Structure 1
Amino acid sequence: MAFLSSRRRRARLVLEVDDAALGRLLKSLQATTSTGTIGATDLFMGQISRLLDQSKADWDRRTHQLSVLACCLSESHGPRGWAAREPRNASALVLSAWVQLERGRARGRLEDAAGIAESCLRAADLAPEDPTPWVVLLGLSRLERRSQREVFGVWNEVLARDRWNREAHLSMLRYLGPEEMGSRVQVLDFLDAVRASTPANAPCAATELTAHVLQYHSVLTRGGVEALMARHRWSHASAAQTLDRTAHTWARPGFLHHAAALADLNLLAYALIAADRRSEARPVFEAINGTVAAWPWSVGGDPVSEFEEARIRSGTGE
């Protein structure tokens, strides 16, 4: 993962993080959809199909690519058209389902939940080894607030295919939280299980740190004295130990090598600044080198501005 550089770069929001091939595809798709050229659908299908074919043996990168594409194409009719034209193409079915899920999440309602589920199950039949149909089904189950018995059944299907799937772990973390269908106790039990079985550099390694950031945000949203004192929660044993474990390893060259590693480094930089551990944040910002992930910076406002302000506070580039 080539995210180290001796020169400080201007901060910019990069949805694909360090996936250069995905970045080129996103630019090409933007040009294709904006020009509305004849044969645009064929070009659209061909470009995406080639990229996803290259990552078929890498479930972590395939999940990342589909996730970013679904977010960027949430208002496009291209994925549904591709799935209609190639109903036996698992990639087309999964992307179409994920796009509809993202659109439903943004609008607060799903147009066709049954259709999303059907597309995922058809894709699972066509590509039984692929975890991504089950990842989308997990997201659908969350949005529909399905029972824990159903959701854990889908979760187990993901794990059977991709033990350390980042997207699925983060989805389960939120589902088990008190804001959705669980409780703080269930979150703690989940984190204990993840911590006991997950390698330090696995794609889902940021699950525990994500939980602490979510808890920090929940304190901020309460307002009042609690919000003013929110930074002190990072000195609690569990949060402090999580930062201790990650601050001095994640930024090492090659330690994190999954597709969304730069997004996780953004999370770590954010947490270290929130905890006022500025000197430890500095090498993390240097490793990120200006590649901004929208979350969690967007919670405070414009993500690029929030990132740049935090980077200055860390002393990076001085």
Structure 2
Amino acid sequence: MGRLLKSLVATTRTGTIATTDLCVAQISRLLDQDPGDWDRRTHRMGVLADYMADSRLPRSWAAREPRNASALVLSAWTQVAWARAQGRPHDTADATENCLLAAELAPEDPTPWVVLLGVARMQRWEQPQVFGVWNEVLARDRWNREAYLSMLGYLTPEEAGSRIQVLEFVDALCARMPANAPCAATELTAQVLQYHAVLDRGGFEALVARNHWSQAMAAQALDRVASTWAQPGFLRHARARADLNLLAYALMAADRRRDARPVFEALGGTITAWPWQAGGDPLTEFDQAQRRAGAGS
């Protein structure tokens, strides 16, 4: 994946038809790998969409191959990624149309519905519509990580739901989810989002935000995963390193340095921007936390 992204940087700069064809061939080859592994397909699509949010290539590919489900989904996802990066709603009519057509062309593929869920979230669709899209994802990929995190975001008070809905959503998931499912980080993500909401209030609440991690629900969420996620081979999904970053961050926020050490060791220096960016530069925040974990008791 990393080699492809570097190659895309080199080839997209020229903007010629030949280099566009080369990029499309490289992307298509990657997305055709591991057929039926929806976790990795969703991951690859998401990484490419974020990386190419400012590029015209995905739309050009979809225009040239209007019956190619991968091209349609990638084009739609880059539109969603661009709008999210801009921090404002965006005209998503094309994205919606592309997702629905891709769903017809590849009825077993959950990624058109995953992207449509992102569209629904951005456009604040009514909950019955959103849950309809959500059910389409689950029918194809029961534990799709991107879909669970997208629904979690949609159900927060900051978007279209409430704290109660978040709790009900997480409780229902934890009651039946395998411990190492791709969406295993949903509960901990909910706790980190709540922690960030407290920090964002500022003032005295922000000063005592660490108390969040001593509350029963937050402490239990950490307890459930602190001893297992860092074990070799326990998490096998494509975004496992992102989930380990989340765990390391939460353990350090809770001042559980001893528990954080093996997580940092398992990461081996692999850093994701979120959630470290909440405190500043992700690399700086990660390095400081890692040093504190190594020095603490």
The answer, yes or no, to whether TM exceeds 0.5 is yes
Matched, 1:103 2:74: no
Shift of 1:33: 1.5
What is the RMSD of the two structures over their aligned residues, measured on CA atoms? Answer: 1.3
Identify which of 273, 283, 287 aligns with 1:304.
283
The match for 1:43 is 22
Matched, 1:179 2:147: no
The match for 2:246 is 267
Q: Report the Cα distance in structure 1 between the residues aligned to 2:161 and 2:30, rounded to whole angstroms.
A: 37
One-letter code of the match for 1:148?
A: Q
Shift of 1:225: 1.3
Identify which of 159, 183, 191 aligns with 1:204.
183
Contact 1:73 1:99 in 2 (8 A): yes
The match for 1:74 is 53
One-letter code of the match for 2:64?
A: R
Contact 1:101 1:110 in 2 (8 A): no
Identify which of 131, 142, 151 aligns with 1:152.
131
The match for 1:88 is 67
Note the 1:123-272 alignment, pairs <5 A: 123-272=102-251
Shift of 1:224: 1.2
Q: Report the Cα distance in structure 2 between the residues aligned to 1:211 and 1:82, rounded to whole angstroms.
A: 36
Mean Cα deviation higher: 222-231 or 142-151 = 222-231
Q: Secondary structure at the match of 2:47?
A: helix
Mean Cα deviation higher: 42-51 or 29-38 = 29-38
Mean Cα deviation higher: 267-276 or 221-230 = 221-230
Q: Report the Cα distance in structure 2 between the residues aligned to 1:67 and 1:180, rounded to whole angstroms.
A: 21
One-letter code of the match for 2:171?
A: D
Shift of 1:37: 4.8
**C-alpha spacing 1:84/1:171, structure 2 compared with 1 (3 Å):** same
Q: Report the Cα distance in structure 2 between the residues aligned to 1:112 and 1:148, rounded to whole angstroms.
A: 20
Q: Report the Cα distance in structure 1 between the residues aligned to 2:67 and 2:90, rounded to whole angstroms.
A: 23
**C-alpha spacing 1:199/1:31, structure 2 compared with 1 (3 Å):** same
Shift of 1:223: 1.0
Q: Report the Cα distance in structure 2 between the residues aligned to 1:279 and 1:109, rounded to whole angstroms.
A: 41
Matched, 1:283 2:229: no
Shift of 1:111: 4.7
Identity across the alignment (%): 70
> Which has the bigger relative contact order, CA under 8 A and spacing at least 6?
1
Q: Report the Cα distance in structure 2 between the residues aligned to 1:251 and 1:106, rounded to whole angstroms.
A: 31
Q: Secondary structure at the match of 1:54?
A: coil
Q: Secondary structure at the match of 2:266?
A: helix
Shift of 1:108: 3.6
Q: Report the Cα distance in structure 1 between the residues aligned to 2:89 and 2:197, rounded to whole angstroms.
A: 26
Q: What are the superposed Cα offsets for residues 172-223 of structure 1, whole Å, 9 maximum, x if unpaired?
A: 0010110011000000100110101110000000000000000000011111
Q: Report the Cα distance in structure 2 between the residues aligned to 1:157 and 1:313, rounded to whole angstroms.
A: 44
Shift of 1:232: 1.2
Q: TM-score, normalised by structure 2?
A: 0.97
One-letter code of the match for 1:217?
A: H
Q: Secondary structure at the match of 1:197?
A: coil
Q: Report the Cα distance in structure 1 between the residues aligned to 2:91 and 2:204, rounded to whole angstroms.
A: 44
Point out where structure 1 has 5 or more consecutive residues left out of the alignment: 1-21
Q: Secondary structure at the match of 1:75?
A: coil
Contact 1:103 1:110 in 2 (8 A): no
Q: Report the Cα distance in structure 2 between the residues aligned to 1:25 and 1:142, rounded to whole angstroms.
A: 29
Q: Report the Cα distance in structure 1 between the residues aligned to 2:72 and 2:208, rounded to whole angstroms.
A: 47
Q: TM-score, normalised by structure 1?
A: 0.91
Q: Report the Cα distance in structure 1 between the residues aligned to 2:142 and 2:90, rounded to whole angstroms.
A: 31
Q: Report the Cα distance in structure 1 between the residues aligned to 2:83 and 2:243, rounded to whole angstroms.
A: 26
One-letter code of the match for 2:204?
A: V
